[in-house]
């Protein structure tokens, strides 16, 4: 059991980004194309955080060309280079799935004063 714990702790990142539900973030993702790799930025609102420990994930939603796109990122994945906080959001829910049904200004999240 101790070996399993050591493996999970060694795979975890040392500096975990401090993100909360409702925050607008830029996620820098390493994409491998053939033998080259590049960084792609995915910017959107964090609508959910799940699990904990090494399995922790967060879901980011954005609207591009009138189509909603959601991506789930593992926090401790080596593919995720860094997570940049653009603006902090103030929400009263743990999951913001209701934003999927909202369009335009109704889909906005209030900004938190931190």
Question: What is the CATH number for 67?
Answer: 2.30.30.790
In this prediction, residues 57-68 reach a mean pLDDT of 95
In a domain, 114, yes or no: no
Q: Is the pLDDT of residue 4 over 80?
A: no
pTM: 0.89
Which segments of the chain are extended strands (E)?
Answer: 24-33, 36-50, 57-64, 67-74, 80-87
In a domain, 89, yes or no: yes
Q: Which residue has the tokens 């493996």?
A: 7
Q: Which domain holds residue 27?
A: 2-106
Q: What is the largest CA-CA distance in the chain?
A: 50
Q: How many domains are contained in the chain?
A: 1
pLDDT in tens, 15-62: 888 999 999 999 999 999 999 999 999 999 999 999 988 899 999 999
According to DSSP, the residues that pair with 54 across neighbouring strands are none
């Amino acid at each position: 059991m101790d070996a399993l714990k050591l493996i999970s702790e060694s795979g975890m990142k040392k500096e975990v980004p401090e993100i909360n539900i409702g925050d607008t973030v830029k996620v820098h993702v390493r994409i491998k194309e053939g033998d080259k790799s590049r960084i792609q930025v995915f910017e959107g609102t964090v609508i959910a955080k799940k699990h904990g420990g090494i399995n922790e994930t967060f879901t980011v939603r954005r609207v591009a060309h009138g189509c909603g796109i959601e991506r789930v990122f593992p926090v401790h994945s080596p593919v995720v280079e860094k997570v940049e906080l653009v603006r902090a959001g103030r929400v009263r829910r743990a999951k913001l799935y209701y934003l999927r049904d909202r369009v335009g200004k109704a889909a906005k999240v209030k900004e938190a004063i931190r």
